[in-house]
Structure 1
Amino acid sequence: MTGVLIFGATGQLGKALVRQSPQAHAPSRADIDLSSPEDCADAILEYRPKAIINAAAYTAVDRAEEDEATAHLINATAPGVMARTAATLGIPFVHVSTDYVFDGSGQSPWTPEDQPNPLGAYGRTKRAGEIAVLQAGGCPVILRTSWVFSADGINFVHAILRLSAERDQLSIVADQIGGPTPASALATACLTIANTLRAAPEKAGIYHYSGSPDVSWAEYARAIVARTQRQTHIEDIMTTQYPTPAKRPLNSRLSCNSTTTTFGLNRPDWRKILDDVVPEMEAQR
């Protein structure tokens, strides 16, 4: 897609976006300071893109508990400024959000209409960003996702491959359930939505997009190890046995039906993408 401006181009989703849209404007962190929202607005006005995708975020979930001000600046204030500038120019704005805006109660997949109730600072700042984007008006889509992975960057797959090479047993949480989402598929979804909004701005709103099938972190870990030559045993534990500074939602299932109906985007099978990602990561070790 030509004429798109990508924020967060150095992250794993950003890299996937650039890979699929090499002609896009993709300024680096050195070019734009996301903790300076004015820089974001200036970049939009300079590039005059046909659409904007914000893949940037403060994602250090535990660190955000002690640094909520910085997380809020990057996850809420900056996206609000981006959205207002996009609205002024009359161009689509796709903002990537998270399952962490929900409290993880119940077992049913969360719908875009369900009421957010974040458990911690990261979720609060991401929800504040959603509100700022919606209040900006214009033509925005908020796309919530979960458990993003790729061969780029540090993620759960990377961690399991590293740890399984060092240990013959790993204890992994089994009562948090969600859909691992390939960054490549998420990038395709963002670009498809941005392009669709140019012709059909009435499709703006909140949508969900995550990989299928939904699994626990422990099941996910077993799938990763199974794609190696290792015999590492994965032991199921409960969240209460693995305390962290930030509370994690137990239920991160996302209902993606409206995304499929509106944009023709089906949930990707993360197992198929994992078949390629694991060997690529192993080759990098």
Structure 2
Amino acid sequence: MKVLITGSNGQLGSEIKALASEYTNFEFVYSDLPELDICKKNLLTQFVIENNIKGIVNCAAYTAVDKAEKDGVLAELVNAKAVENLVAVAENQHLKLIHISTDYVFDGTSHIPYSEKMPVSPLGVYGKTKRAGELQVIYSASNSILIRTSWLYSIYGNNFVKTMLRLGAERESLGVICDQVGTPTYARDLAQACLEILSKSERLDTQGKVYHFSNEGAASWYDFAKSIMIMGEVDCQVNPIESKDYPTPAARPHYSVLNKSKIKADFGIQIPYWGDSLCDCIDILKTEKFEE
């Protein structure tokens, strides 16, 4: 089975590449800009047909949360219009589709982990465009799955873990937000979950189904940063600050922990604790040099 990985140069796509050799039942085809622009439906359709694609994992997204407030047109194009194209191709060519979304579709007013049935209410342009993309999947007739995740990091690309390690080595102290709580998620764990679901989804009716996946547990950005410094053996003082003392163009949910009961029940997926996965990631970063 040939599977197209869109946005393959990003964190999640790169982690899927790293795990690909473990899934010999799939032949992976990797794409990113400029080779394939999924915002152009005709080009996407042609690519899928010519390469005999039978499944797609969409890792492509516009994720610059603050920049999206002024760059809404591009965010809408990548996060919604491109997803509309992928859904249409999946329907017409009878493909499997896994699309990745975000905890930022929630407004953060809950005090219990968000289940898939709880109402969404995104606060900023990024969350609103991701929600628009979600609706394309939810109301499609394709064999498609939507997976929401949160606070993604990896050994690849730009992310909070690598930024903290770099800044921690440069500065004596850092202030980090303590009143926004979610779950750090190792992109490798999400990649493995996507590949496991792809392997098992033939046995399930997955049309437009929504699932949540993050690592287990919860933390504030401050907790996350403290753990990064400790595990990375970086001598930098991390100080807690409130959101009001660090204003950003886009509002963030104050609480966005995800309930993972559904994905564990349907697919039998084992999910690691966030601290254990962070330790694994930092161990790799200590021994191998990855460029930001």
Distance in 2 between residues matched to 1:103 and 1:251, nearest whole Å: 8
**Unaligned 5+ runs, structure 1:** none
> 1:182 maps to what in 2?
186
Task: Look up the equivalent residue of 1:217 and give its one-letter code.
Answer: W
Structure 2 Cα separation of the partners of residues 19 and 3 of structure 1: 17
Whether the 8 Å contact between 1:52 and 1:194 is mirrored in structure 2 is no
Find the counterpart in structure 1 of residue 18 from structure 2: 19
- Give the Cα–Cα distance (whole angstroms) in 2 for the partners of residues 17 and 115 of structure 1: 30
Q: Is the 8 A contact 1:130 1:142 kept in 2?
A: yes
The structure 2 residue matched to 1:259, chosen from 263, 266, 287, is 263
For 2:108 and 2:47, how far apart are their aligned partners in 1?
A: 36
Aligned to 1:270: 274
- Measured on the aligned residues, the alpha-carbon RMSD in Å equals 1.6
AA aligned opposite 1:206: V
Q: Supply the AA of the counterpart residue of 1:14.
A: G
Aligned to 2:224: 220
Q: TM-score, normalised by structure 1?
A: 0.95
Relative to the length of structure 2, the TM-score reads: 0.92
- The residue identity in structure 2 corresponding to 1:265 is I
Give % identity.
36
Deviations 1:175-224 (A, max 9, x none): 11111111111001111112222232347500000012210000000100
Identify the match of residue 122 of structure 2 among 90, 105, 118: 118
The verdict on how the C-alpha distance between 1:270 and 1:221 changes in structure 2, with shifts beyond 3 A counting, is: same
Post-superposition offset of 1:232:
1.2
Pairing 1:66–2:65 present? no
Aligned length: 284
Secondary structure of 2:29's counterpart equals coil
Corresponding residue of 1:36: 40
* Equivalent position amino acid for 1:21 in 2: A
Q: Which amino acid is the alignment partner of residue 164 of structure 2? A: I
CA contact (8 A) 1:203 1:262 kept: no
Q: Is the 8 A contact 2:102 2:148 kept in 1?
A: yes
- The aligned counterpart of 1:6 is 5
Once the two structures are superposed, residues 119-143 of structure 1 have per-residue CA deviations (whole angstroms, 9 ceiling, x without a partner) of 0000000000011122221111100
Q: Is 1:75–2:79 an aligned residue pair? A: yes
Question: Does the CA-based 8 Å contact 2:114-2:256 persist in structure 1?
Answer: yes
Task: Please list the CA deviations of residues 145-195 of structure 1 after superposition, one character each: whole Å capped at 9, or x if unmatched.
Answer: 001111101000011001100111110001111111111110011111122
> Which position in structure 1 is the counterpart of 2:289?
284
Q: CA deviation at 1:227?
A: 1.3
User: Does structure 2 conserve the Cα–Cα contact (< 8 Å) formed by 1:181 and 1:268?
Assistant: no
Q: Residue type of the partner of 2:212?
A: H
Q: C-alpha displacement at 1:48, in angstroms?
A: 2.6
Q: Which amino acid aligns with 1:257?
A: S
The answer to whether the 8 A contact 2:138-2:210 is kept is no
- Indicate whether 1:249 and 2:248 are aligned: no
1:279 is displaced (CA, Å) by 3.7
Q: For residue 187 of structure 1, what is the amino acid of its counterpart?
A: A
Residues 1:237 and 2:241 aligned together: yes
Structure 1 CA distance for aligned equivalents of residues 172 and 281 of structure 2: 22
Q: Partner of 2:28: helix, strand, or coil?
A: coil
Question: Does residue 1:158 correspond to 2:168, yes or no?
Answer: no
Tell me the distance in 2 between the aligned counterparts of 1:39 and 1:66. Answer: 28
Q: Which residue of 1 aligns with 2:113?
A: 109
SS, match of residue 25 in structure 1: strand
Whole-angstrom CA distance in 2 between matches of 1:42 and 1:201: 27
